[in-house]
Amino acid sequence: MSGSELFVLECYDPTKEYHGQKQFDCGNQIINAFVAKSLRKQVRESLSRCFVLLDAGDNDRFIGFYTLSSFAILAPDLMAVKSSGLPSRVPCVRLIMLGVDKHYQGRGLGRRLMKSVFEKTLAVSERIGLYGLYLDADAQAVEFYIALGFVPLRTRDASRPTPMLMHIEAIRAATR
């Protein structure tokens, strides 16, 4: 770990080599494998957009990231938050992956990445209709998202991810 506290958030460039990308370890093996093996290809093919957090004090080490895509939620899956008056497919932004390297966790960087996710979501909502921000949360991350304002869309079950939503107006309020 470096002594520097200068962290830079930038749009991930799939043509660039990132120091430490293959060694990235957030403690979640699925996310680690995705960063090492699939992230570059997925962004190159425009299946998601990625923003990466670099430690400028350690040779721009890859220490955190998130990926976003467009998504449509089926209206019945939103019963927990709205039971009628929605089209059959509800437009959303989807937060696919989020991670902060284990050595950098607990220092506000996850929250910083989520602030950026909210800003990106709001920016898109000024161009196309968006009901909110959707994600599938791992059991150990559900409380992290609830504290930010996300609502579980079904009863929590530790054996599978919990679908969660944050309405666009809640995102707007959280970024004020």
Ligand X SMILES: CC(C)(COP(=O)(O)OP(=O)(O)OC[C@H]1O[C@@H](n2cnc3c(N)ncnc32)[C@H](O)[C@@H]1OP(=O)(O)O)[C@@H](O)C(=O)NCCC(=O)NCCS
Cα-based distances in Å from 16 to 19, 56, 109: 10, 16, 23
- With tokens 């830079």, the residue in question is 8
In angstroms, the CA 163 to CA 33 distance is 22
Q: Pick the closer one to ligand X by CB: 108 or 129.
A: 108
User: Going by DSSP bridges, is the β-strand pair 61-74/132-137 parallel, antiparallel, or unpaired?
Assistant: unpaired
Structure tokens at 74: 């089926």
CB of 4 to ligand X, least distance (A): 17
Q: Which residues contact 3 (CB under 8 A, 6 or more apart)?
A: 57
Q: Which residue is nearest to ligand X (CB)?
A: 110
CB of 19 to ligand X, least distance (A): 19
CB of 16 to ligand X, least distance (A): 22
Chain contacts with ligand X (rule: CB under 6 A): 26-28, 31, 98-100, 105-111, 137-138, 140-141, 143-144, 147
Tell me the one-letter amino acid at 109.
L
Cα-based distances in Å from 21 to 1, 54, 122: 15, 10, 28
Q: Pick the closer one to ligand X by CB: 110 or 132.
A: 110
Q: Pick the closer one to ligand X by CB: 87 or 108.
A: 108
State CA 113 to chain mean position distance.
8
Tell me the one-letter amino acid at 92.
C
Q: Pick the closer one to ligand X by CB: 86 or 116.
A: 116
CB of 130 to ligand X, least distance (A): 20
In angstroms, the CA 120 to CA 37 distance is 25
Q: Pick the closer one to ligand X by CB: 49 or 94.
A: 94
CB of 52 to ligand X, least distance (A): 13
